[in-house]
Amino acid sequence: TQLLEQSPQFLSIQEGENLTVYCNSSSVFSSLQWYRQEPGEGPVLLVTVVTGGEVKKLKRLTFQFGDARKDSSLHITAAQPGDTGLYLCAGAPFWAGGTSYGKLTFGQGTILTVHP
Amino acid sequence: GAVVSQHPSWVICKSGTSVKIECRSLDFQATTMFWYRQFPKQSLMLMATSNEGSKATYEQGVEKDKFLINHASLTLSTLTVTSAHPEDSSFYICSAAGGNQPQHFGDGTRLSIL
């Protein structure tokens, strides 16, 4: 069974601060996805990282996939109240060859609150 | 982009009734659909995986007779909560995968059993 440890579970910060969310595992994933979810809605895909060591940027969000494909991080620069939400990381099993056909292993989630 | 539609978005019903939730992939063929359950402020818990035309694979601890899943076509999967009770109240989310599409999620269904 693959596990994905996500931390921190809760994060409450002021507007303008920086933050980092981590996802760690002892298992290797073929890819890792980051989602953002607002209350009463489904998760929305932010990014997929596939290559070990890969770094992807999405405006103020920077995503990194570990060299060994076992861990990932999400860094937000100058957080804004609109960034508030539940952030989820999810790893795709290696046998799926990087596709989404396999079951995703989800982290426990990080509830981010950015105060104005 | 690809869209997954889930219906209804909110349902309230009496204890003992059965409730059907639909999950549709609108512009791609979903060979695999997943059903999740989510409690407040928690991550998603996978309930079952369904492949078009075959029986669903349930996760450990999920009662297959309680949560009936049908994936009769490449664009539609349904989850039926049979003889629902208050403990079945939750947020249910589906996702669909197929072709070159990453897994896309529906907007979820909030189920409240009185």
- pLDDT at position B79 over 70: yes
Measured CA to CA, the distance from residue B47 to residue B26 in angstroms comes to: 22
Instruction: Say if residue A99's pLDDT is above 50.
Output: no
Residue among A116, A112, A115 at smallest CA distance from A39: A112
- In the stretch 68-87 of chain B, residues with CB closer than 8 A to chain A read none
> In this complex, do B107 and A88 lie within 8 Å of one another by their Cβ atoms?
no
How far is it, in rounded angstroms, from Cα A104 to Cα B70? 20
Size of interface A-B (CB pairs under 8 A): 54
Query: Residue A69 contacts by C-beta under 8 Å, 6 or more apart in sequence?
Result: A28, A29, A30, A32, A52
- Token look-up 């103020």 returns A60
Three-state SS annotation for chain B: CCCEEEECCEEEECCCCCEEEEEEECCCCCCEEEEEEECCCCCEEEEEEEECCCCCEECCCCCCCCEEEEEEECCEEEEEECCCCHHHCEEEEEEEEECCEEEEECCCEEEEEC
Give A2 to chain B, closest Cα distance, Å.
13
Alpha carbons B39 and A93: distance in angstroms, whole number: 24
pLDDT per residue as tens digits for the range A6-36: 999 999 999 999 999 999 999 899 889 999 9
A99 touches chain B (CB under 8 A): yes
Cα–Cα distance measured from residue A89 to residue A36, given in angstroms and rounded to the nearest whole number: 9
pLDDT for position A101: 53
Looking at residue A98, its pLDDT comes to 46
Confidence of residue B72 (pLDDT cuts 50, 70, 90): confident
Which residues on adjacent β-strands are paired with residue B95? Answer: B34, B105
Shortest CA gap B81–chain A (Å): 19
- In 3-state terms, what secondary structure has residue A116? coil
- Give contacts of A100 with chain B, Cβ < 8 Å: 97, 101-103
Average pLDDT, chain A: 91
Q: What is the pLDDT of residues A77-96, one digit of tens each?
A: 999 999 999 999 999 876 55
Interface check for A11 against chain B (CB to CB < 8 A): the answer is no
B59-69: pLDDT as tens digits = 999 999 999 99
